[in-house]
């Protein structure tokens, strides 16, 4: 492992020449800064998809999967923090998933790990922009909004370091809470009104369709919990980092508890199996002004702009590329499911457990050893089924697909 660290491809580039490393390596952060960064990386516009995920699972299985995946990701990110700390104490500091995987698993794993990271980043790019379309009452198209978001993201990406984003990410955390509670309030208002939709929580009639929908929904939840930049976040902290990361994770998952459950329950309670992949689309009227006016629209726009900035990739070309793909592929729920199954399940539900067992080498008789490998086996199977079901759904919806369309396909 030491030889891999000395001769690995990521060590052939000096830190001075590595723009991504130069952006991350300002290790001055406190634990609450980690909490801001972690919350910003996870709690984003994809929470609008949670009622849609419950639509494919129902109440019981929906709560079970949301809770189980929350517990597993918290544990997974904690283990990843321990692995990063272990490597740093051995003189091998890593600021990217792909570098860490290449160090522990061997250089051959650099390309697969890089591909997973890139796939997750491109998936994230499509999520924030699709929030904005339902907020327009005028002639603007979806790609107009995406262009606006892209310009602002280019400006934000030019900050001198990841640490310098801590204040913006704190504002994003507050916006996450405000954003969620406005959506929850709107759902409760819609559900209590005299024109409330008829509630139907039944699942699909075909058993095979129920199975495919369940795995697609699980993949969506995986994408919502996904975090592809945990090594970068830990690298911003003043050493020792492990204790600070635990406190940051507790802050992050406190916000997750209030935002994820409230959005999922309120949206699914009102719209049931008619929940849209973007719950705002269900809430917005077909004609006339939106229910809360310009203040609500402005808040959502700010959140969508601020939450999915990838700090390591601060190249304008990268941001423009992600914006182009977001404009070209108007699949919100479908893209979230594919990204969750193919990207985030391997990266966040499988890889951390494998890296921990290989670096810390727990005894085969220990509980940690068997818990970690059980999670690896279960979520490898879930990822395979989720990939098949989500790609199947994407293919089924392809007949509605149009390049650069303003209509987001469910």
Task: Report the DSSP beta bridge partners of residue 29.
Answer: 237
**From CA 333, how far away is CA 328, in angstroms rounded?**
15
180 contact partners, CB below 8 Å, separation of at least 6: 47, 258, 259, 262, 263
CB–CB of 280/131 below 8 Å?
yes
One DSSP character per residue, 229-240 reads -HHHHHHTBPSS
Mean pLDDT of the chain: 77
Domain boundaries, the chain: 2-13+29-397
pLDDT in tens, 352-409: 999 999 999 999 999 999 999 999 999 999 999 999 998 888 888 777 777 766 665 5
Task: Report the DSSP beta bridge partners of residue 409.
Answer: 331
Length of the chain in terms of residues written: 410
**From CA 380, how far away is CA 384, in angstroms rounded?**
6
From the options 3.40.50.720, 1.20.1740.10, 3.40.1350.10, 3.50.50.60, give the CATH code of 2-13+29-397: 1.20.1740.10
pLDDT in tens, 237-280: 887 777 899 999 999 999 999 999 999 999 999 999 999 887 87
CB atoms within 10 A of CB 155: 12
CA distances from 156 to 69, 153, 169, 301, 313 (A): 31, 5, 11, 15, 11
Find the mean pLDDT for residues 201-215.
92
Q: What's CA 300's distance to the chain center, in Å?
A: 17
pLDDT at residue 65, rounded to an integer: 96
Quick one: residue 58, left, alpha or beta (phi over 0 = left, psi -120 to 50 = alpha)?
left
Helix (H, G, I), strand (E, B) or coil at 331: strand
pLDDT at residue 331, rounded to an integer: 59
């Amino acid at each position: 492992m030491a030889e891999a660290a000395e001769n690995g491809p990521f060590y052939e580039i000096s830190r001075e020449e590595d723009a991504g490393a130069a952006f991350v390596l300002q290790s001055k952060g406190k634990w609450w800064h980690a909490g801001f960064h972690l919350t910003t990386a996870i709690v984003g516009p994809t929470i609008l998809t949670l009622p849609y995920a419950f639509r494919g699972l129902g109440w019981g299985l929906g709560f079970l999967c949301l809770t189980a995946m929350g517990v597993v990701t918290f544990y997974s990110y904690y283990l990843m923090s321990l692995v990063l700390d272990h490597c740093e104490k051995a003189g091998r500091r890593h600021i990217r998933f792909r570098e860490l995987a290449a160090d522990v698993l061997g250089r051959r794993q650099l390309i697969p790990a890089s591909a997973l990271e890139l796939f997750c980043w491109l998936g994230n790019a499509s999520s924030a922009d699709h929030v904005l379309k339902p907020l327009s009452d005028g002639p603007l198209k979806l790609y107009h909004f995406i262009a606006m978001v892209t310009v602002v993201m280019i400006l934000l990406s030019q900050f001198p370091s990841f640490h310098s984003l801590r204040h913006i990410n704190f504002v994003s955390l507050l916006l996450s809470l405000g954003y969620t509670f406005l959506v929850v309030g709107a759902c409760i208002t819609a559900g209590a009104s005299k024109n409330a939709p008829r509630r139907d929580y039944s699942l699909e009639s075909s058993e095979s369709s129920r199975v495919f929908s369940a795995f697609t929904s699980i993949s969506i939840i995986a994408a919502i919990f996904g975090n592809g930049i945990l090594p970068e976040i830990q690298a911003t902290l003043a050493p020792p980092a492990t204790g600070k990361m635990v406190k940051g994770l507790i802050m992050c998952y406190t916000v997750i508890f209030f935002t994820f459950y409230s959005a999922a329950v309120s949206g699914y309670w009102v719209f049931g199996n008619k929940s849209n992949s973007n719950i705002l689309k269900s809430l917005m009227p077909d004609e006339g002004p939106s229910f809360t006016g310009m203040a609500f629209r402005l808040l959502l726009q700010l959140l969508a702009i601020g939450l999915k900035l990838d700090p390591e990739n601060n190249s304008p070309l990268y941001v423009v590329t992600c914006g182009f793909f977001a404009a070209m592929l108007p699949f919100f729920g479908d893209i979230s499911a594919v990204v969750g199954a193919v990207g985030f399940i391997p990266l966040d539900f499988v890889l951390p457990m494998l890296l921990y067992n290989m670096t810390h080498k727990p005894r085969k008789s220990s509980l940690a050893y068997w818990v970690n490998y059980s999670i690896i086996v279960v979520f490898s199977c879930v990822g395979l089924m989720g990939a098949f079901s989500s790609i199947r759904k994407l293919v089924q919806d392809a007949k509605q697909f149009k390049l650069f369309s303003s209509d987001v396909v469910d």
